[in-house]
Structure 1
């Protein structure tokens, strides 16, 4: 599988070490957490953008 996806042997070993012992429920939970983490990162980026926009607006008013 590592060759098919052009992954190094070290990456393959790390993947197996991390996920090799996971059962189905663990994998589902991990994927759910990854999805949630992605959504939270997006919300945080949007908030940071809005904060910077507000700072720019306030600076122009002064």
Structure 2
């Protein structure tokens, strides 16, 4: 693997981790909202 490819891979891995964190936070928010909505009805 060339150096520029290794750097690009590292950037993509970092971006992937960031997006996974955002997705996890979004799923948690949805679960909290579902729980709150179910308690109201």
TM-score per shorter chain, which class? over 0.9
Indicate the structure with greater helix content.
2
Alignment of 1:49 onto 2:28: yes
Listed one character per residue, the Cα deviations across residues 14-51 of structure 1 (whole Å, up to 9, x for unaligned) are: xxxxxxxx101100000000000000000000000000
Unpaired segments of 5 or more residues in structure 1?
Answer: 1-21
How high is the TM-score relative to the length of structure 2? Answer: 0.97
Relative contact order (alpha carbons < 8 A, sep ≥ 6): 1 or 2 greater? 1
Q: Which residue of 2 aligns with 1:29?
A: 8
Q: How many residues are paired up?
A: 41
Q: RMSD value over aligned CA atoms? A: 0.4
Bigger Cα Rg: 1
